[in-house]
Amino acid sequence: MADTRVNLCGIGLSNPIIPASGTFGYGYEFAELYDINILGTFSFKGTTREPRFGNPTPRIAETASGMLNAVGLQNPGVEKVISEELPKMKKVFHKKVMANVSGFSLDDYVYTCERLDACEEVGWLEVNISCPNVHGGGMSFGTSPESAAEVTRAVKNAVKKPVIIKLSPNVTDIAEIAKACEGAGADGISLINTLLAMRIDLKTRRPLLKNVTGGLSGPAVFPVALRMVYQCAKAVKIPIVGMGGVSSAEDVIEMMLAGATAVEIGAENLVNPCACRDIIEALPTAMEKYKIDKLSDIIGGAI
């Protein structure tokens, strides 16, 4: 029988499949479609210290083999997430969940992580230093090893639960940033966030997105994501959560061979709301096809 279990930063998962932050809300809408407890876990909507309305519209655009988004971290703020969203989520999801956190200063990151660290439902803190769609924060912390390490160190000193730093692909050397996070105490890293991109409306001759640029996700970015996961897996010893254009059980296996311990599914949830369920159900057949008995055995197998 296929063994899909993996261990992420000391917490066991029944399988490596994790819906990515921003594409799964707080889970309860998807729970109306299938039993989301079959998931390894999920990363809930990116949370900031204060409520955010997000960027002006239009902020979503389709493109070949993917999509652009410039949502801008719309969320109700950490206090409402804790008081309103997590209790609703707990009714439908009975495993530890991954809390995705964004900020605009070190104080923001520390405050929000401290508040979520105290929540029983939270198993990991996924600290997003890589959002390309906000000004004055997000990705600016993830584009140099020094600032990435600074955020990592500040959060690690403030919390008890595992800290996974989410990295930006919009850099020259992502492996150097991964090493800086590891050196500052990160328990894991996740990558990649979206690639900075844009489209132009030929009729108006203006950028299609009000924000001008957005993040490219979907199958188009998979080979880039795979390359970066592979590079980081060669550079660090901490677990990696791989993501970027994953849409099939075969993609999951490929990501794990490149060095990922677990795999997040993002844009595919917006194309097919049952994508994660379908991938989990397809994994045993794919494992049999490629003669894999235990998924944990193949992590980094291509390195």
Tens of pLDDT, residues 245-281: 999 999 999 999 999 999 999 999 999 999 999 999 9
Alpha helices in 62-197 (DSSP H): 78-80, 86-92, 106-117, 145-156, 174-183
pLDDT score at 133: 47
In 3D, which of 155, 158, 148, 133 has the Cα closest to residue 52?
Answer: 133
- What's the pLDDT tens digit per position in 157-169? 999 999 999 999 9
pLDDT score at 233: 98
pLDDT score at 140: 64
Q: Cα 173–213–233 angle (5° rounding)?
A: 25
Q: What stretches in the chain show pLDDT beneath 70? A: 131-140
Q: Supply 279's token pair.
A: 């991938």
How far apart CA 82 and CA 56 sit, in angstroms, is 26
Asked, for residue 137, whether it belongs to a domain, the answer is yes
Asked if residue 100 lies in contact with residue 21, where contact means CB atoms within 8 angstroms, the answer is yes
Asked, for residue 65, whether it belongs to a domain, the answer is no
Asked, for residue 62, whether it belongs to a domain, the answer is no
CATH of the domain at 190: 3.20.20.70
Active site residue 131: yes
Asked, for residue 63, whether it belongs to a domain, the answer is no
Number of domains in the chain: 1
Cα 97 to Cα 6, 199, 302: the distances in Å are 15, 35, 29
Asked if residue 59 lies in contact with residue 71, where contact means CB atoms within 8 angstroms, the answer is yes
Asked if residue 267 lies in contact with residue 195, where contact means CB atoms within 8 angstroms, the answer is no
pLDDT score at 139: 53
Asked, for residue 64, whether it belongs to a domain, the answer is no
Asked, for residue 66, whether it belongs to a domain, the answer is no
The distance in angstroms from the start CA to the end CA of the chain is: 26
Asked, for residue 208, whether it belongs to a domain, the answer is no
The catalytic position among 9, 113, 119, 131 is: 131
Q: Which domain holds residue 117?
A: 6-55+72-199+217-298
Beta pairing, strands 163-166 & 188-191: parallel
Asked, for residue 61, whether it belongs to a domain, the answer is no
